[in-house]
Amino acid sequence: MTELLKTSLHNEHVKLGAKMVPFGGWDMPVQYTSVKDEVLAVRQKVGVFDVSHMGEFFIEGVDAEKFADYLVTNDILSAPQGKAIYSPLCRENGTVVDDLIVYKLHPGRVLVCVNASNIDKDFEWMNSHHKGFDCVFTDKSGAFSLLALQGPEAFSTLKPLLKDLPDIEYYSVYETSFGNHPVIIARTGYTGEDGFEIFGSHIAIKEMWQMFMEKKVTPCGLAARDVLRLEVCYPLYGHELNDEINPFDAGLGWTVKLTKTNFIGKSALESKKAKYKTVKLTLDKGIPRENYPVLDGQGTVIGTVTSGTMSVITGKGIAFARIEIEKAPKDEVFNVDIRQKAYPAQLTKKPFVTGGHK
């Protein structure tokens, strides 16, 4: 077994008494005190996550935006400078290598933030298409730590620590400094609340984390993060997305811009029909969990739960499920098989919880 990687804040987590678990090759805090309290802190006040395990790639040079636009399915070129754009990264056949965020820092400089467990796979894939673009493509994951400060009090908590922080739009990015350290501040996150992701050197981020602790910001672990993202219906790679399905199967058609001149996977995605449909389900009784079978009204297996939990906010069982389109019931009657018993599940159109982001 290979040794687990540690973020620059590992000692801080241990000191706080966090329960540590392996995640994507890293030893990460899953919870500090209580998942419920951590979720509520983010929804009502402010919480902070160490997400330094995530990967940071930089694209620099005159073709930086063009290269990013060619790699991903969403439209990078048309977005204004300073914007953050969520997108799947696809193979030629349209299957999803990863989902990521592209940050247009300034002309000729793009930051791409990718999932921890996919860093090597993504870099290799992206780098293999680099030829012909006039830009430098580097994996700087090892040089960066990353915090996600999330919740309605995030702006007022962060602003005083920085040289300056204008009230930037949701899904945009701003470069400033924290003491002597340059930091990249993005108004993004994975919770549905207002909040920021802060990219900086290991030293800068450790200092900032300690200041957040002094200010009584609630440290939050991966468990709370997973509940928060599922409540607002954000997909997670390895669950709603994987190497075998395309963005349409995962309900991410809105991120595939077939009007773009060219991008990897375009021709496959033009002719591709979704094989699956990703649905949201709510259960009044029972808690759906990953891999539980989903049944129609007649008891036929039509799909599986890809992520499930008890919602802290609604107190109900909530799930994403991948359903085979051909088997999708016209009467919209769904059940989840929990320990060989069928529990009724309501098809839910809107996110389970509405986050407070701008």
Partner 1 sequence: MSTNIPANLKYTKEHEWALVEGDTVTVGITDFAQSALGDIVFLEVPDVGSELKSGNTFGVVESIKSVSDLYAPVTGEVIAKNSDLEGSPEKINSDAYGSWLIKVKVKNTAELNNLLTAQQYQEFCNTSH
Binding positions for partner 1, rule: CB under 8 A = 30-31, 34-36, 223, 226-227, 286-287, 289, 309-310, 312, 339
Nearer Cβ to partner 1 (31/255): 31
**Nearest residue (CB) to partner 1, 31 versus 150:** 31
Residue whose CB is less far from partner 1, 225 or 266: 225
Nearest to 251 by CA among 335, 332, 321, 347: 321
Between 20 and 105, CB nearer to partner 1: 20
Cβ 245 to partner 1 shortest distance, Å: 25
The smaller minimum CB distance to partner 1, of residues 184 and 223, is found at 223
For partner 1, the closer of residues 16 and 165 by Cβ is 16
Range 257-260, long-range pairs (CB < 8 A, 24+ positions): 257/73, 257/74, 257/75, 259/75, 260/69, 260/75, 260/77
Which residues make Cβ contacts (< 8 Å) with residue 332, sequence separation at least 6? 347
Q: Which of 345, 235, 338 is nearest to 293 (CA)?
A: 338
Residue whose C-alpha is closest to residue 321's, from 309, 341, 301, 306: 306
Least separation in angstroms between residue 345's CB and partner 1 is 15
Q: What's the longest Cα–Cα distance across the chain?
A: 64
Q: What is the DSSP letter of 116?
A: G
Q: Smallest distance from the beta carbon of 102 to partner 1, in angstroms?
A: 31
- Closest CB 191 distance from partner 1, rounded Å: 15
Contact 159, 165 (CB under 8 A): yes
Write down the least CB distance from residue 291 to partner 1, Å. 11
Which residue carries 């070129």 as its tokens? 77
* CB-nearer residue toward partner 1: 278 or 311: 311
Smallest gap from residue 84 Cβ to partner 1 (A): 28
**What is the nearest approach in angstroms of partner 1 to the Cβ of residue 240?**
17
Nearer to partner 1, 31 or 246 (CB): 31
> SS3 for 147?
strand
Nearest Cα residue to 147 out of 104, 103, 185: 185
Reference 217, options 344, 353, 6, 32; nearest CA is 32
Q: How far apart are CA 131 and CA 128, in angstroms?
A: 7
322 in Cβ contact with 308 (< 8 Å): no
- Quote the least distance from Cβ 282 to partner 1, whole Å: 15
Q: Please list, in sequence order, all residues whose beta carbon lies within 8 angstroms of the beta carbon of residue 95, skipping any fewer than 6 positions away.
A: 242, 243, 244, 245, 246
Closest contact distance (angstroms) between CB of 111 and partner 1 is 31
Q: What is the DSSP track for 93-114? A: TS-EEEEEEEEEEETTEEEEEE
Comparison of 217 and 228: residue with beta carbon closer to partner 1: 228
Q: Is the dihedral of CA 135, 140, 144, 145 positive or negative?
A: positive
CB 301, min distance to partner 1, A: 20
92/284 with CB nearer partner 1: 284
